[in-house]
Amino acid sequence: MSFRHFLKDKNHRMSVGALDLLKYVGPGFLVTVGFIDPGNWATNVAAGSWYGYPLLWVVTLSTVMLIILQHNVAHLGIATGLCLSEAATAHTKKWISRSVLWSAVLASISTSLAEVLGGAIALNMLFRIPLAFGAFLVVALVSYMLLTNSYKRLEKWIIAFVSLIGLSFIYELALVNIQWGTVLVSAVRPIIPPGSMVVVMSVLGAVVMPHNLFLHSEIIQSRQWNLEDDRVIKRQLDYEFFDTLFSMIVGWAINCAMLLLAAATFFQKNIRVNALQDADALLKPLLGSSASIIFAAGLLFAGIASSVTSGMAGGSIFAGLFGKGFNIKDKISRAGILISLVAALLIVFLIRDPFKGLIISQMVLSIQLPFTIFLQIYLTSSKRVMGEYANGKFTIAVLMIVGLVVTYLNVILFIGFFK
């Protein structure tokens, strides 16, 4: 299987119209939600308010790496009918699969902690609701959405949430003066301003998250019909590329918009933002109360939507430990969802410093992510697992480079937490 497959392998490509392609859009958007979660909001606002436009290229680079990894793990789900968690249980030694998957469960809890806290912070901005009670409301709503809705309905909700977040930033950008010529150059020209390395690594590190790799390999299976038909599998591989690419570009645009808003407002006024609550309070005198409300509302949508996907990922990982796929009606999948969300809520109740809680959650992700990435590379490169759809040499080389870069950045971030 090659990343050049979509462009070069025309023999099996079926003629499709725009409506056919749209039928396959959805799984990628659930992954995109993790790419625009509250953690990304914080890092992008910091990058824009501290350094202006120059760090836009970091968003571009991180998106490219994300597309490569998500595209590859989606192939695992399509070609085998197994999610990453199931495949690990089926095709690796028990001590390996259990070690990686239980650490992934912890990473899912850490992810949910960050997402739930983001939603709670937004509720505090909008209605002055205390963080602990706001976190409870977010978990209650998300649990209700997950346990009572079918996947198809959830998918539509997530697409709606992503659309609302995107519209909120279109509105906000319309209020400020953007230097679009500089933006176009900064999006592709690597520049590291003095003292910005920590922010650069934070932006990169906030994009690729272990729970999204497990989630994508699971939900992509909602678009397949017959694993015995090679023609169907190849068509799915083509359509998945479109879904992943389109969805990740939307995520890239929203992340860029966050950074642009911070650069055009805070950086221009020499204001360094260190917390999302500060951004909300500072936007009001600069752009008016409506901008502040829209910002907080967008963060709330991001917190709720990303909590939904982190809960789903938790259910998928936990079910895979028992050799099962994610099924919202199955008690094991439900247990995984509740473990991820309720454990995160309990941590919110226990911590006194929400900012420190976010730092700890990112530390756990930094430790776990390399294990998930290299497990994925091993499985998708194995002919025993993937058959004819196993990674080719070129794809393996690309994946290894991306995996090593992401691992290096996360190790540096982890070390930086203790300095």
Q: What is the 3-state secondary structure (H, E, C) of 115-157?
A: HHHHHHHHHHHHHCCCHHHHHHHHHHHHHHHHHHCCHHHHHHH
What is the greatest pairwise CA distance in the chain? 61
| Residues in Cβ contact with 363 at an 8 Å cutoff, skipping those fewer than 6 apart | 414, 417
Instruction: Please report, for the chain, how many H helices and E strands are present, in that order.
Output: 19, 0
pLDDT at 149: 79
Side chain identity at residue 288, one-letter code: G
Neighbours of 309 (CB within 10 A): 29
* Residue scoring higher pLDDT (3 or 331): 331
Neighbours of 417 (CB within 10 A): 11
What whole-number distance in Å separates Cα of residue 61 and Cα of residue 32?
15
pLDDT at 196: 84
State yes or no: pLDDT of 40 exceeds 90. Answer: no
Residue 37 DSSP code:
S
159 phi, psi to nearest 5 deg: -60, -40
pTM (predicted TM-score): 0.88
Question: Residue 39's pLDDT band (boundaries 50, 70, 90)?
Answer: confident
Q: Please say whether the beta carbons of 159 and 301 come within 8 A.
A: no
Q: Which two tokens stand for residue 71?
A: 């595209």
Question: Residue 207's pLDDT band (boundaries 50, 70, 90)?
Answer: confident
State yes or no: pLDDT of 272 exceeds 60. Answer: yes
What whole-number distance in Å separates Cα of residue 211 and Cα of residue 368?
10
Round to the nearest angstrom and report the end-to-end CA distance of the chain.
42
**Averaged pLDDT for residues 92-116:** 95
Q: Please say whether the beta carbons of 325 and 319 come within 8 A.
A: yes
Q: Please say whether the beta carbons of 311 and 112 come within 8 A.
A: yes
**Averaged pLDDT for residues 248-276:** 91
What whole-number distance in Å separates Cα of residue 339 and Cα of residue 321?
14
State yes or no: pLDDT of 4 exceeds 50. Answer: no
pLDDT, tens digit (0-9, with 9 covering 90-100), for 300-329: 999 999 999 999 999 999 999 999 999 988
Question: Tell me, which fold does domain 5-416 have in CATH?
Answer: Amino acid/polyamine transporter I (1.20.1740)
What whole-number distance in Å separates Cα of residue 155 and Cα of residue 219?
10
Question: Residue 38's pLDDT band (boundaries 50, 70, 90)?
Answer: confident
What's the chain's Rg over C-alpha atoms? 20
Side chain identity at residue 106, one-letter code: L
pLDDT, tens digit (0-9, with 9 covering 90-100), for 348-394: 998 877 766 766 777 788 789 899 999 999 999 999 999 999 999 99
Cα 332 to Cα 108, 282, 307, 367: the distances in Å are: 16, 45, 19, 26
**Averaged pLDDT for residues 71-82:** 92
